Amino acid sequence: MTIPVSYYLILSAIVFLTGVVGVLIRRNIIAILLSVELMLNATNINFVAFSQHLQDLGGQVFVFFALTVAAAEVAVGLAIIIALHRSKDTINVEQFNLLKW
């Protein structure tokens, strides 16, 4: 008994929407990065589900690359957060308006 691929799409849509809402409504910059991780995982679920559905390993290889990029993103993002916290003593995104017009 196999699961139809649409179920996986619905699951990943829910997770992705949660991530979008998190990016838009949270003020804590760490919570925003966590929401980005949620979105990346939602796309990964899609990739793996279609890889199984179409019997093509390309999807799994792409998840591998997405994971690499996620690791790079976390390393650079957290370094930026530390630098921001050092300069402003806060991680509330509303305090960072230097580049805002």
Partner 1 sequence: MAQLFFGYFAGVIAITSVLVVALRNPVYSALSLLIMFFHVAGLYVTLHAEFLAAVQIIVYAGAILVLYLFVVMLLNVKQDDRYHGQWRIAAFVCVPLLLELLVLLASGGAAQSGLLPAQTAADTADNTLAIGTTLFSTYLFPFEVASLILLVAMIGAIILAKRDFPERGEM
Residue ranges in 26-57 assigned as alpha helix (H): 29-54
Q: Which two tokens stand for residue 41?
A: 């995982």
Nearer to partner 1, 30 or 100 (CB): 30
Query: Quick check: 14 and 55 in contact, CB under 8 A?
Result: no
Task: Please give the DSSP secondary-structure letter assigned to residue 2.
Answer: P
Q: Give me the amino acid identity at 10.
A: I
Nearest approach, Cβ of 27 to partner 1 (angstroms)?
A: 5
Nearest approach, Cβ of 50 to partner 1 (angstroms)?
A: 8
Q: Give the sign of the dihedral formed by CA 97, CA 72, CA 69, CA 92.
A: negative
Nearest approach, Cβ of 100 to partner 1 (angstroms)?
A: 13
The residue written with tokens 């409504």 in the block is: 25
Nearest approach, Cβ of 37 to partner 1 (angstroms)?
A: 6
